[in-house]
């Protein structure tokens, strides 16, 4: 069986313990490759490599670093189909989605930071009494980049690209559930001749090697995307060591649908915003708040649209929804559908696993599910499910919709559907979320700040914000004679 290897000091290496973890194909529910179960000995090799590489890489000109980013981006484009197939097989997502979104976006991340690093400026402040302050921004050292399984290469590259573009060396860990494209990225780094030790990729369990990375004294900056509970554990280890920390965490995103919206556009986009990637995008909508005068119409049209979504073989170009990522996650999502019914919810469509064994797919498929009749305070409406499940609730007035939208501990993304510009602006100001889409969803400009409020995270990724995160500012103050 194919064995994935770690990428350390420019080389592809087996784990020193020779211990491996099973890697499953979600659509088949079968093991198809093995992942290194890395340990502290592997981490030591990676730390040594990164420490050795750092002074030279930090002193490398921005142009040279930028060139490497561009070459990685180009190589991802050249290997698009292979990477997309690997992502779809490893994660269960439709191949068409990986071809259109995941892999092109990973390439764009490298391409974007190839350019952004050349345009990254620091501030200067002139004082009238003959003093000039300017801000020096230097790379920090060794960064840990830890990412989840839902958008594997996309989110992995979203961290790695700015970290190394800014002159840091990186030790990165993909989710052990979806390691394959991170492995292929190691090959790409070799192909473009990225200097040894600049990027090191360790595979393994989060609670083992991930935790060790977070605690390691030579790692001074941590960029993490994943669940809120894991973020809390990481913060509890990193904070007493005064490490720089960026946490992109869970969400329970609401979409507010007003009766004056562009109905057709809203309906089409809402189907996507709820069910794209089987609902496993941190930005997916999981609560639909619908103004009462269009509630029944919306319900009928939306459920009809959901019933038309094809759940099936990720390789089939007509598939809208593939498998969810793992058996454990499959059980978790189904348990929330049971909970919703215990809490008094009515399942309008879906509500159970989809059996595709007759097609030779014994994996983890779930019917897209719509639930109504729940109070906003119940667990189904408060906790992150992270699957193809959405609730719908009616509201009468704007203030009520705002209160419902803001009623969870999360604050990642929100969507507002209205043609009333003043209302849109009022809500954009008052919603507790790091990103607010008005009359659209998942429109992303990589220059914008990205992140969450409340328990959805701390810090911002994207654009110059993340380059600020990955550099240390120092004020230089010069007084000169007049
Ligand atoms: P997890 O928090 O379980 O894992 C994320 C990563 O952290 C994985 O690589 C995991 O490794 C690792 N990890 C787990 N425990 C530790 C630890 N103690 N120390 C260090 N690393 C650890 O999240 P999921 O992979 O399940 O991803 C889903 C979550 O990610 C959802 O809550 C979703 O909302 C969130 N997310 C947030 C985004 C945002 O931008 N705000 C974007 C995308 C997802 P392993 O897999 O081996 O456990």
Please report whether residue 410 resides in a domain: yes
Cα(396) to centroid(ligand 1), Å: 37
pLDDT at res. 191: 98
* 387 close to ligand 1 (CB < 6 Angstrom): no
Q: What is the CATH number of the domain that holds 260?
A: 3.40.309.10
Please report whether residue 260 resides in a domain: yes
Rg (CA), the chain: 23
| Residues spanned by the domain of 99 | 2-249+457-476
pLDDT at res. 135: 97
pTM of the complete model: 0.97
Cα(147) to centroid(ligand 1), Å: 6
Q: What's the rounded Cα separation, in Å, for the pair 355 and 361?
A: 8
Write the DSSP symbol of residue 461.
Answer: B
On whether both 238 and 276 belong to a single domain, the answer is no
Please identify which residue in the block is written with the tokens 């990164």. Answer: 50
The one catalytic residue among 212, 282, 284, 384: 282
72, 170, 287, 363, 464 from 112: Cα distances, Å? 12, 18, 32, 36, 11
The one catalytic residue among 25, 248, 367, 461: 248
Pocket test of ligand 1: the residue of 21, 40, 206 to mutate, having most ligand atoms within 8 Å of its CB, is 206
On whether both 222 and 302 belong to a single domain, the answer is no
Backbone angles phi, psi at 35, to 5 degrees: -115, 135
Active site residue 282: yes
pLDDT at res. 359: 87
* 415 close to ligand 1 (CB < 6 Angstrom): no
Q: How many Cα atoms within 13 Å fall on the side-chain side of residue 448? A: 11
Please report whether residue 482 resides in a domain: no
* Closest protein CA for atom 14 of ligand 1: 206
On whether both 52 and 186 belong to a single domain, the answer is yes
The ligand 1 atom at the shortest distance from the C-alpha of residue 456 is 41
The ligand 1 atom at the shortest distance from the C-alpha of residue 450 is 40
Please identify which residue in the block is written with the tokens 């879906």. Answer: 350
Please report, in angstroms and rounded to a whole number, the separation of the first and last CA atoms in the chain: 74
Q: How many residues does the chain have?
A: 482
* Closest protein CA for atom 22 of ligand 1: 206
Q: What's the rounded Cα separation, in Å, for the pair 307 and 402?
A: 29
Locate the DSSP E strands across 65-109. Answer: none
pLDDT at res. 481: 85
Q: What's the rounded Cα separation, in Å, for the pair 298 and 184?
A: 44
On whether both 153 and 7 belong to a single domain, the answer is yes
170 near 7, Cβ under 8 Å? no
* Closest protein CA for atom 33 of ligand 1: 250
Write the DSSP symbol of residue 351.
Answer: -
On whether both 122 and 157 belong to a single domain, the answer is yes
7, 32, 90, 158, 378 from 103: Cα distances, Å? 20, 21, 13, 12, 37
Please report whether residue 481 resides in a domain: no
90, two tokens: 């490893």
* Closest protein CA for atom 8 of ligand 1: 175
On whether both 176 and 91 belong to a single domain, the answer is yes
Please report whether residue 412 resides in a domain: yes
Q: What is the CATH number of the domain that holds 206?
A: 3.40.605.10
On whether both 402 and 470 belong to a single domain, the answer is no
On whether both 470 and 409 belong to a single domain, the answer is no
How far, rounded to the nearest angstrom, does the alpha carbon of residue 112 sit from its chain's CA centroid? 17
User: Dihedral of CA 372/373/378/379: which sign?
Assistant: negative
- Residues of the chain whose pLDDT is less than 50? none
Cα(358) to centroid(ligand 1), Å: 33
On whether both 324 and 220 belong to a single domain, the answer is no
Provide DSSP, 240-296: GGT-EEEEE----EEEEE-TTS-HHHHHHHHHHHHHGGGG-STT-EEEEEEEHHHHH
On whether both 403 and 424 belong to a single domain, the answer is yes
Cα(230) to centroid(ligand 1), Å: 7
On whether both 369 and 342 belong to a single domain, the answer is yes
* Closest protein CA for atom 16 of ligand 1: 206
442, two tokens: 């998942």
The total domain count for the chain is 2
Backbone angles phi, psi at 373, to 5 degrees: 90, 15
* 210 close to ligand 1 (CB < 6 Angstrom): yes
pLDDT tens, position by position, 400-425: 999 999 999 999 999 999 999 999 99
Q: What's the rounded Cα separation, in Å, for the pair 242 and 41?
A: 24
Please report whether residue 421 resides in a domain: yes
On whether both 467 and 360 belong to a single domain, the answer is no
Q: What's the rounded Cα separation, in Å, for the pair 374 and 10?
A: 53
Cα(356) to centroid(ligand 1), Å: 28
Provide DSSP, 152-176: HHHHHHHHHHHHHHTT-EEEEE--T
């Amino acid at each position: 069986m194919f064995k994935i290897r770690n990428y350390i000091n420019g080389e592809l290496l087996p784990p020193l313990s020779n211990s491996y973890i099973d890697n499953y194909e979600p659509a088949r529910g079968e093991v198809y490759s093995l992942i290194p179960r890395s340990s502290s000995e592997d981490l030591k090799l990676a730390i040594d490599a990164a420490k050795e590489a750092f002074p030279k890489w930090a002193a490398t000109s921005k142009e040279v670093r930028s060139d490497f980013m561009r070459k990685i981006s180009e190589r991802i484009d050249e290997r698009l189909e292979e990477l997309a197939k690997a992502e779809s097989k490893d994660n269960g997502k439709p191949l068409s989605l990986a071809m259109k979104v995941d892999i092109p976006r990973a390439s764009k991340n490298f391409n974007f930071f190839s350019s952004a690093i050349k345009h990254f400026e620091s501030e200067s402040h002139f004082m009238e009494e003959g003093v000039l302050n300017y801000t020096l921004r230097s790379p920090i050292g060794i960064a840990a980049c830890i990412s989840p399984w839902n958008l594997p290469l996309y989110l992995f590259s979203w961290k790695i690209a700015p970290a190394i573009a800014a002159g840091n060396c990186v030790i990165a860990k993909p989710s052990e559930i979806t390691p394959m494209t991170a492995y292929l990225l190691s090959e790409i780094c070799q192909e473009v001749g990225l200097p040894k030790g600049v990027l090191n990729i360790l595979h393994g369990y989060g609670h083992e090697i991930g935790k060790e990375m977070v605690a390691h004294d030579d790692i001074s900056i941590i960029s993490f995307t994943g669940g809120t509970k894991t973020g809390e554990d990481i913060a509890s280890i990193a904070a007493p060591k005064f490490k720089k920390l960026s946490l992109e965490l869970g969400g329970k995103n609401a979409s507010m649908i007003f009766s004056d919206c562009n109905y057709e556009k809203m309906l089409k986009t809402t189907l996507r915003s709820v069910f794209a990637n089987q609902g496993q995008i941190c930005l997916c909508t999981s609560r639909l708040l619908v103004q009462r005068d269009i509630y029944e119409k919306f319900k009928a049209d939306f459920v009809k649209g959901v019933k038309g979504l094809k759940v099936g073989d990720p390789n089939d170009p007509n598939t809208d929804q593939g498998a969810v990522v793992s058996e454990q996650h499959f059980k978790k999502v189904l348990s929330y559908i049971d909970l919703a019914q215990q809490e008094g919810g009515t399942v309008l469509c879906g509500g159970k696993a989809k059996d595709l064994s007759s097609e030779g797919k014994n994996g983890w498929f779930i019917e897209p599910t719509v639930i109504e009749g729940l109070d906003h305070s119940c667990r189904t409406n408060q906790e992150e499910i992270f699957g193809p499940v959405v609730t719908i609730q009616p509201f009468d007035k704007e203030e009520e919709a705002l209160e419902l939208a803001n009623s969870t501990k999360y604050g990642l993304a929100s969507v507002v559907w209205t043609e009333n510009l003043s209302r849109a602006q009022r809500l954009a100001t008052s919603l507790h979320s790091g990103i607010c889409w008005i009359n659209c969803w998942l429109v992303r400009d990589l220059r914008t700040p990205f992140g969450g409020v409340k328990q959805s995270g701390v810090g911002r990724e994207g654009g110059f914000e993340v380059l600020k995160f990955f550099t240390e500012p120092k004020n230089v103050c010069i007084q000169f004679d007049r």
